[in-house]
Each structure stands twice: as structure tokens, then as C-alpha cells.
Amino acid sequence: MHIIIKSMEIKMCVLDEEKECDGCMECEMCDLDPSKVCDNCGKCLDIKDVATIRIDKIITDPNEYKE
């Protein structure tokens, strides 16, 4: 009798940080069509050709950073 011991690395769920991944694949399903596996179509992201973001400040000294 041979016993194979695989690595027991625990992977946490990407949707629920308190749950161990059980392979349910909910994270692979489409947000707009629950019967579809995500194919990275981008429709759920409402991607625009142009976008802007306001930057309040640029911190170059890590000691200056406060949460």
C-alpha cells in the first residue's frame, strides 16, 4: 500500500476571507449572467475609453505615510 501525502497549503476564498476555498467556483461566474462562466468580456466593468482620477497628494517618504 502506497500513501501519497500532498502539500496541505490552505487557500482562502477570494470572495469570503473567513472561508477556506472549497472549489465551489462561485468566483468564476459572471456577475451579470449567473449561468455563464466569466470569459473576461468586461461588460460588468463599464470600461470607458477615457477616465480621470484626482490625486490629492504624492508621498515619496514612507515615514510620512499615515493610514
Q: Which residues bind ligand SF4 (CB under 6 A)?
A: 13-15, 21-27
Dist. CA 44–CA 36, nearest whole Å: 13
For residue 26, give the DSSP letter.
G
Q: How far is the CB of 43 from ligand SF4 (least distance, A)?
A: 20
Task: Closer to ligand SF4 by CB, 15 or 38: give it.
Answer: 15
Q: How far is the CB of 12 from ligand SF4 (least distance, A)?
A: 8
Task: Closer to ligand SF4 by CB, 24 or 44: give it.
Answer: 24
Beta partners for residue 37, in sequence order: 29
Beta partners for residue 20, in sequence order: 12
Name the one residue in this structure whose C-alpha cell is 515615514: 63
